[in-house]
Each structure stands twice: as structure tokens, then as C-alpha cells.
Structure 1
């Protein structure tokens, strides 16, 4: 397991790609469990959204389906398992890294002015997540980083639209 996490960290540092992760259902299941657990923890910080189960279901289903579609359009369906494993695994680890920031921001209270350090750290993690996803898509699609980043941004926007439309607002 530590080798798997080490490879995920390599992807997060943009030194490895999804092709460097083990293929198969066990790594995919491990990454999915990590992602669901981290997402559920993130949603539980503060008041949280009203429809947590619906949001979690969509947060798992959308990347599975959208990744399948994008890879099929580029005629690379065999890369689906490792791509989704990379997306879920890195997102899960990033969510765990962001939990202390979210808890600290929540602890400050709604009426307190936001802590600039927490705000900057949260923004860095948010934009770094796009860099990681763009890196994953670059490798999965055999394209440039800019094209991979564009795919990551579009899929994020589609996912947020579908989740907020079907499950309600996230905050």
C-alpha cells in the first residue's frame, strides 16, 4: 500500500503519470475508497450540504462516466482504469490535505474575516488540483499539458453543474 501511495504522490508532484500506477480493480477500489472517505470528511466539515449521499454518488459516478467518454473519444479506452485510479487517488489525498484548512476556516466562524494565509493556501491547493488533473489527462490522452488542463477544467465545470443541478448547492 505504501508503494501505491508513493506512486500517487509522484503523480501529485507531476513526476509520474497514471501509466505508472498499477492496473486492476484492487488499486481502483483502493483509490475510490480513499476518494469517497476524504470527500465525505470534507463534506462533513461545518454545516455541510443537505444532500451528502447524492453528492457523494454523483462525485463518484461522474468521473467514472466522463473519463470513459473522453478516453473513448480519443480511442484510448484501455487507459480508463489507471486514469480513474489516478484521478480518484490524487483527489482523495488532496482532500485530506485540505481538511485542516477547511477546519481552521470553519473554526474562525462565519462573522470573522477570512485568514489571508488560509485563503492563499486553499487557493494554492485548488489550483494545484487542476495542475495534477491536467497532468493526468496529458498522459492519458497523449496530448499537451495545456490540452490536458483544458479537459480537467471542462470536466470540473460539467461535474459541478450536474452535481448542483441534481443534488443542490454544495454549501
Structure 2
């Protein structure tokens, strides 16, 4: 439970990636949580095999982004903690979306759900910006901009790789 509280504190901007314990096991668990949540989310709209492949590609792209950003800022020693924070916080926020996306897939005319999902997307963007701010020693707004840029690029890559219609 203390670890879940830590990642919730990061999601609520009370702590940062520097507060995450340096642990290969914790990073592996965060990646596992990220992957499971990703497969469940993607599985709501496609077959499970495709969902597993897409979740794996998304996870690898996120790691490549984190590594590249830290490398360019010469902050590679922060990789493990930053990756753990990003994967774990993404898993927490994305898990909150699962019941609402399932509801939408069953009843698409429920308009209020769209507002909640938009809130989750904006919150996720802010959390990633917060983590990047601490990891890269940049401003919060630059971190959010970097996160937004990553989301746009990763979305385009995923659409191209998996031939998905927007």
C-alpha cells in the first residue's frame, strides 16, 4: 500500500520521480501494471492478441521517449526512477478509465462519460509533465508541452503501425 500511496502522491503533484525507490523489481512491476491496463483498455475495442501487441509497442515507445529525453539532458542516472513513475502513474490513471470506456462501448450515447474521460486525459498530461519537470529539470509547462508532443507523435505512430481509423 505505501507504494500505491507514493504513486498517487505523484499523480496529485505532492511527490516526484525522485521519491521513487530505485528498484529493478519495482520498475518491472510498474511495466507489468502498465501493460495489463493497456491490454484491458485496448481489448475493449479489438481482439486480445492485437491488444497485447499494441500495448507492448506503446510500452517500448514510452521507454524510448524517456531514455531519449534523459539522454539529451544528460540525466540518464534518473532513468529507472523516472520510468517507474511514468509507467506506474499511467497505469493508475488509465485503470480509472476502464469502467467508463467499457460503459461507453456498451452505451455510446452517455455524454457525461466523455467529460470525465477528457478530464482523465488532461490530468494524465499534467502528471506526465510533472514527472518530466522533475526528471529533466525543466519547467512544468515545458514538461507538459513535451508530454503533449510525445502523445501526438506516439498516436500517429500507432495509427500508422496498426492501420487504425481515427
* TM-score, length-scaled by structure 2: 0.93
SS in 1 for 2:122: helix
**Do the aligned residues in 1 keep the contact of 2:65 with 2:150 (CA within 8 Å)?**
yes
Equivalent runs, 1:41-52 vs 2, <5 Å: 41-47=40-46, 51-52=50-51
CA distance in 1, matches of 2:34, 2:102: 18
Contact 1:17-1:139 at 8 Å conserved across structures: yes
**Residue 145 of structure 2, aligned match among 150, 159, 171:** 150
Q: CA contact under 8 A between 1:54 and 1:167: conserved in structure 2?
A: no
Q: Cα distance, 1:4 vs. partner?
A: 1.1
Provide the secondary structure at the position in 2 that maps to 1:22.
coil
Matched residue, 2:13: 14
Q: SS state of the match for residue 9, structure 1?
A: helix
Deviates more, 1:50-59 or 1:61-70: 50-59
Distance in structure 2 (CA, Å) of the matches to 1:133 and 1:153: 9
Deviation at 1:165, TM superposition (A): 1.3
In structure 2, distance between residues paired with 1:58 and 1:91: 15
Please report how far the alpha carbon of residue 28 of structure 1 lies from its aligned counterpart in structure 2 after TM superposition: 0.4
Q: Which runs of 5+ in 1 are unaligned?
A: none
Q: How does 1:53-72 map to 2 (within 5 A)?
A: 53-72=52-71
Tell me, yes or no, if the aligned pair for 1:21 and 1:86 is still in contact at 8 Å: yes
The alignment of Structure 1 onto Structure 2 pairs a total of residues equal to 166
Equivalent of residue 118 in structure 1, options 113, 117, 128:
113
Q: 5+ residue gaps in structure 2? A: none
The separation in 2 between residues aligned to 1:76 and 1:45, in whole angstroms, is 37
RMSD value over aligned CA atoms?
Answer: 1.7
Give the TM-score of the pair, scaled to structure 1: 0.91
Secondary structure class of the residue paired with 1:14: coil
